[in-house]
Amino acid sequence: MASLRLGDIAPDFTAISTEGTINFHEWLGDSWAVFFSHPADFTPVCTTELGTVAKYIPEFEKRNVKVIALSVDNIDSHYQWVKDINETQGTTVNYPIIADETKQVALLYDMLHPNASENFTVRSVFIIGPDKKIKLTMTYPASTGRNFDELLRVIDSLQLTAYHQVATPANWKDGEDVVIVPAVSDEDALQKFPKGYKSVKPYLRLTPQPNK
């Protein structure tokens, strides 16, 4: 299976999860999604990640984002693990965790990297749009926990730039100035961005975030 690239349609699948059987595209509906994999159940870093995501659900919901996780252990193991996560992280996991015992989904999404580990999925992250297309991919080693503040920042950027002809500069955060894309002429920029813009260079024009 070749690696999935940005703009590819996220592969559809049907799988058992802690929230029942998931038909992925149907479950996604008109929402965005964060889909992320875990090397195994009862692993320390994953336990903190899944607990953190549960606490971030209100932030994801504000952005019309659904969250779904995957591990290659069985569903009974997942249920036991969720109890541990809730206890140790002081939260309630209320999103589906796929039980991918056959590795069917992991293979579809190229989550198995044999040179890193024969049996475990790496820490993959996919952000998927309502059009079912992949908007972001990230792969972390098993030893490094993910930064979910960064994923929220990327979602803010993706949702902003999907509807306005802007891009977001380095280290941008929601509410800060954005860059007008080169395809917009100076004349059109005055129409499209009534708050005005600052021309640092002909190709570098900054404007206040248009949806604020």
Pull the structure tokens for residue 162. 């999907």
CATH fold of 164-207 reads Antioxidant, Horf6; Chain A, domain 2 (3.30.1020)
What proportion of the chain, given as a percentage, has pLDDT over 70? 94
Pull the structure tokens for residue 48. 């903190």
Q: Is-catalytic flag, 46? A: yes
Q: Are 30 and 129 spatial neighbours (Cβ–Cβ below 8 Å)?
A: no
Contacts for 172-181: CB closer than 8 Å, 24+ residues apart: 174/209, 175/209, 175/212, 176/209, 177/206, 177/207, 177/208, 177/209, 178/206, 178/207, 178/208, 178/209, 178/210, 179/204, 179/205, 179/206, 179/207, 180/205, 180/206, 180/207
CATH fold of 14-145 reads Glutaredoxin (3.40.30)
Q: What is the pLDDT of residues 23-65, one digit of tens each?
A: 999 999 999 999 999 888 998 999 999 999 999 999 999 999 9
Q: What is the pLDDT of residue 212?
A: 86
Please identify which of the residues 33, 46, 65, 112 carries the catalytic annotation: 46
Domain ranges (residues) in the chain: 14-145, 164-207
Q: What is the pLDDT of residues 131-185, one digit of tens each?
A: 999 999 998 887 889 999 999 999 999 999 999 999 999 999 999 999 999 999 9
